[in-house]
Amino acid sequence: MVFDLPRQVTIVEVGPRDGLQNEEKEVPTEQKIRLIDALSDTGLMSIQVTSFVHPKWVPQLKDAAEVLKAIRRPAGVVYSVLVPNQTGFERAVEAGVEEIEVFVSASESHNMANVNRTIAQSLEGLRPICEAAKAHGLRIRASVPTSFGCSIEGRVPAERVTALASELVKQGAEEISFGDTVGMANPRQAYELFRQLLAALPNTRLAAHFHDTRGTGLANALAALQAGISIFDSSVGGMGGCPNTPGAAGNVATEDLVNMFEEMGVSTGVDLSKIVDCARLAENIVGRELPGKMARAGVCKR
């Protein structure tokens, strides 16, 4: 088999937000800061720090402002936050955000379960947020959860995902991440969807965000890579899941993704030994064994 692969990829670390939001045990603010600062020393160039969601819905992230204000911010590393609404956006700006991420599910049912809005209502609600973000000179990233399927609706049509992404670009999104929120994707589907998206959105940065609920996370990442994707979301230790998706396992583990790419000769810019140390730190912080493999397998000698 011949692989036509990029020489390098960008890893977007989402563990501090997407990972920790699903943890039942409360993680102290200082431990979150410790983890993010450690991740900043690995070579990662993009880290999703937290979410400015109402504490009633995600109590684990009630300290969003404190975390964002206290972390170290080495030059060149992008620190982003998720903002679900106008209030969250305003809090994020006050805390000194530099990149926001907005989101709309590709599944109507999941979007209703997640934010109690239709897709159309969510898009309309994002309009003033994106306008305000552009006025503040902030970068806008968007995510499309359930791009590959939904536990309520089943498969989501690729045409719907593409149309939704096109609308997000019109609103100002410079980068869009497509999420396999419930882990339903398979490699062929991942390849075909991303080929379609790349053709439809040639001037937009596209990212893959895979969960490993059914054990296909790395295989799907490889298929996306072969399709032409060079930006990948992942979570240290494989933390994560969706609070509104019962049974959803964590994201693809950052250290496992880095190991696979580096062994294939695709540069991530991430120090594998340091990211494995971060996975072990994350396990210590959450107080349980995480699903990532490299923390137990160890780094191979080249």
Q: Per DSSP, what are the bridge partners of residue 100?
A: 81, 140
Parallel/antiparallel/unpaired status of strands 78-82 and 99-103: parallel
Whether 262 is in a domain gets the answer yes
Whether 248 is in a domain gets the answer yes
> What residue ranges in the chain does DSSP mark as E strands?
10-13, 46-51, 78-82, 99-103, 139-144, 175-180, 205-210, 231-234
Backbone angles phi, psi at 254, to 5 degrees: -55, -45
Burial 47-65 (b: 16+ CB within 10 A, else e): bbbbbbbeeeebebbebbb
Whether 297 is in a domain gets the answer no
Q: Is the pLDDT of residue 244 over 60?
A: no
Check 130, 242, 278, 300 and give the catalytic one. Answer: 242
**Structural domain containing residue 212:** 14-291
pLDDT at 246: 55
Whether 277 is in a domain gets the answer yes
DSSP 8-state symbol, 273: H
For residues 51 and 64, the answer to whether their CB atoms sit within 8 Å is yes
Burial 4-15 (b: 16+ CB within 10 A, else e): ebeeebbbbbbb
Instruction: Specify the number of domains making up the chain.
Output: 1
Whether 7 is in a domain gets the answer no
Whether 74 is in a domain gets the answer yes
Q: Is 242 a catalytic residue?
A: yes
d(CA 149, CA 203): 25
pTM, 2 dp = 0.95
For residue range 93-148, list pLDDT tens digits in order: 999 999 999 999 999 989 898 888 999 999 999 999 999 999 999 999 999 999 99
d(CA 269, CA 9): 8
Whether 5 is in a domain gets the answer no
Parallel/antiparallel/unpaired status of strands 46-51 and 10-13: parallel
**Crossing angle between the packed helical segments 254-263 and 272-286, to the nearest 10 degrees:** 160
Place of tokens 């990662």: 44
For residue range 138-187, list pLDDT tens digits in order: 999 999 999 999 988 899 999 999 999 999 999 999 999 999 998 999 99
CATH of residue 251: 3.20.20.70
Whether 4 is in a domain gets the answer no
Place of tokens 């692989």: 3
For residues 184 and 195, the answer to whether their CB atoms sit within 8 Å is no
Which residue type occupies 10? T
Q: Per DSSP, what are the bridge partners of residue 48?
A: 80
